[in-house]
Chain A
Amino acid sequence: MSATGKVARLPLARRRAARSSRPRDFDRPRFLRVVIGLFLVWTFAPIAIVILFSFNSSRSLQNFDGFSTQWYSEFLATPQLRESLYASLGIAVATMLVATVVGTLLAYGLVRARNRLTPVTNVIMLVPLVVPEIVAGVTALLLFTQIGMDLSVATITIAHITFSISFVTIIVRGRLVSLNREVEEAAMDLGATRVETLRLVVLPALWPAILAAALIVFALSFDDFVLSFFTTGESPQPLPVRIYSSIRFGVTPTINAIGTLMLVVSVTAIAVALALPRLLGRRGGGVLIGKDAV
């Protein structure tokens, strides 16, 4: 009975195997593709709509009436918005520079100059990442008013730097931990001073990580809203805060144009941050010291 059953079932299994060109992946259920598809639509549909309507020729946010770049022109023609764009870029660049340098040095210190306090410092460093941003914003505001500092682009930058340092440190530390300490000793053994060792051996090895950290921090700072909202002065306001305040007086298609531009800046920064380590890794990211110049 059971034997005949097996024989009867066999051709069916064969037919199935023949239908698909390769064996079925039992570990990759098909319904997951549906889930992924839904996730992608859920995430990107609103963004796609913003991008689409930023090129709309009419003011309508419901009907697409034709292609036009007038909202981009209008954005650039509005002095207040332009000012905000420059402020945001300036804050992001300053944050990136300061946080990258400090964060990298902090990572180097935490990994190479270990002592009894290192575990404590490691935990303290995580605090800016886990503290809710709204709390960070309120405390920053309280601090600045307490010490009598006028709210301005400077206060925003300081606030951004505080949380950005942690990002840089965590990213750079990951790379540093995998760097064999004997390599640094070898450099010193061969006559390189501490500073030369840092410059010639440590930095080239950390370079991809430092660059990635810098770009991620740039992107985070550029589109940060909560911290900026609490620490901003009257003028100039960073772009996200400016968008928020103008939305309260009604949504104009200019917002779509700004949103699209911000998206392009952030995505570019993150994409470069992700791609660079691989590109540099493959080519080695080496520093030529005159061998070919002879």
Chain B
Amino acid sequence: MRCEVNEQANGGPGASDEAIRFESVTKRFGDTEAVAELGITIRRGEFFSLLGPSGCGKTTTLRMVAGFEQPSEGRIFLEGEPVEAIPPYRRNVNTVFQSYALFEHLDVFENVAFGLRRRKVDRGEVRRRVADALELVQLHGRSDAKPRELSGGQKQRVALARALINRPAVLLLDEPLGALDLKLRRQMQVELKQIQREVGITFVYVTHDQEEALSMSDRIAVMRDGRVIQCGPPEDVYERPAEEFVAGFIGISNLLEGVADGPDAVRVGPSLRIPAPLPDGCTTGEEVRISVRPEKIALDELEPGMVELAGVIESRVYLGMTTQITVSLGEGARLVVLEQATYRSRADDRWEPGMPVRLGWHPEHCLILR
């Protein structure tokens, strides 16, 4: 699938705001296609995420940009220039590795200074820039520490400073927060995004954590089996998933299988007909799936204009901030509903299994996947 930047049509070919362009890039390892026909353009200054399950080709994509792998077919352009002939040590990109890959025999200062030293930057400037970089990641004062004396979060910061100090055109991040615990990961997500805004460098971020991708990215490319399934801003990917896979991978998906019945409804079972806006070209009898995000479904307190259905509470799981309620619609169809706890009520005190309930949603929140 193509994922071009729309605005670029006005800027003409090779517009100066493109950081990376993939032109039908394919990478094969033996018989397996790790990346297939990749064609995306990443804008300058963008926080771009490659999201997908392990083995979907996201890391391979990153490694091709860094120069550790060569595409089997297709071309990669970095700021408009083809990169296949440029070795990793001369590409204007830097990588933050999943394992941090710090140099254990060097202290924090020398780790961060490594890139500048390779480019023969003079000593005074090295000193100043390392101090700035450590300041940026809040590690000033730890420049004499050896990597083994640092915590996971601190190592992560050193790896980030070591890469950012070179002011690359693009910073590649390969699941950089994967090894951190949940709380630290949240904190680092905020900091990473802040740092990215501050330095204005293009970030290409590889992750399998959908929440991470949604919270940080300007745009997300969802990948599966080496292909980009959908590419767009987080809101689009979340609210309007292009395929069942995207809907399922991002958030809890409510999928009901059925057949199109008339221009504006889907028949799920013999006696269950759900009103839904069918996409153009959908003919009666075609097999489709209905998807409604769990948090978009209202229970009992329906608003005018909502699609209305009747069901029976099947189970209730208290999750703290939310409560997850499974409602049976009969015919073997069930929907998961997430109810938010509010200042007025605990979320979990309204429903008991077996209670009949009315549920509804606004038609625009209902997606038809073909």
Contacts and interface: CB of A to CB of B under 8 A. Distances in A.
Interface of A: 180, 182-183, 185-193, 196, 200-201, 204-205, 284-287, 289-291, 294
Given A182-B97, A192-B114, 16 more contacts: A182-B98, A186-B102, A186-B162, A189-B88, A189-B93, A189-B163, A190-B94, A191-B166, A193-B89, A200-B103, A286-B105, A286-B106, A287-B105, A287-B106, A289-B113, A291-B113
Given A180-B101, A196-B118, A185 B123 contact: no
A180 B97 CA distance: 11
B123 A294 contact: yes
Contacts of A180: 99, 101
B89 A192 contact: yes
Contacts of A190: 89, 94, 114-115, 118, 162-163, 166
Interface of B: 66-68, 87-90, 93-95, 97-99, 101-107, 109-110, 113-115, 117-119, 123, 127, 146, 162-163, 166
Contacts of A188: 67-68, 87-89
B190 to A, nearest CB: 25
A182 B99 contact: yes
Nearest to A183: B101
A192 B88 CA distance: 9
A286 B106 CA distance: 6
The 9 closest A-B pairs by CB, nearest first: A191-B118, A182-B101, A190-B115, A186-B101, A204-B105, A188-B88, A182-B97, A183-B101, A189-B95
B97 A185 contact: yes
A205 B115 CA distance: 19
Contacts of B162: 186, 190
A196 B104 CA distance: 16
Nearest to B66: A189
A200 B110 CA distance: 11
Nearest to A182: B101
Contacts of A186: 95, 97, 101-103, 162
B127 A294 contact: yes
B101 A286 contact: no
A99 B102 CA distance: 30
Contacts of A193: 87, 89
Contacts of A284: 104-105, 146
B95 A192 contact: no
Contacts of B123: 290, 294
B334 to A, nearest CB: 45
Given A180-B101, A192-B89, A284-B146, A291 B166 contact: no
A185 B89 contact: no
Contacts of A294: 123, 127
Contact of B114 (A187, A205, A286): A187
B85 to A, nearest CB: 16
Contacts of A196: 118
A141 B35 CA distance: 57
Most chain A CB neighbours (cut-off 10 Å) among B90, B94, B99, B101? B101
B97 A291 contact: no
B110 A291 contact: yes
Contacts of A189: 66, 88-89, 93-95, 163
A200 B67 CA distance: 20
Contact of A187 (B103, B110, B163, B166): B103
Most chain B CB neighbours (cut-off 10 Å) among A183, A287, A294? A183
Nearest to B88: A188
A205 B89 contact: no
Contacts of B99: 180, 182
A185 B101 contact: yes
Contacts of B93: 189
A204 B102 CA distance: 13
A126 B99 CA distance: 32
26 contacts: A182-B98, A183-B101, A183-B102, A185-B68, A185-B88, A185-B97, A185-B101, A186-B97, A186-B103, A187-B103, A187-B114, A188-B68, A188-B87, A188-B88, A189-B93, A189-B163, A190-B115, A191-B119, A191-B166, A204-B103, A205-B104, A285-B105, A286-B105, A289-B117, A291-B110, A291-B113
A116 to B, nearest CB: 12
Most chain B CB neighbours (cut-off 10 Å) among A189, A192, A201, A205? A189
Nearest to A181: B101
Nearest to B148: A284
A191 B98 contact: no
A206 B115 CA distance: 22
A13 B139 CA distance: 59
A190 B113 CA distance: 10
A286 B107 contact: yes
A2 to B, nearest CB: 54
Contacts of B146: 284, 286
Contacts of A205: 104-105
A205 B109 CA distance: 18
Contacts of A187: 103, 114
A165 to B, nearest CB: 26
B115 A191 contact: yes
Contacts of A183: 101-104
A254 B95 CA distance: 65
A205 B90 CA distance: 24
B318 to A, nearest CB: 42
Nearest to A203: B105
A68 B113 CA distance: 60
Contacts of A185: 66, 68, 88, 95, 97, 101
Nearest to B63: A185
Contacts of B66: 185, 189
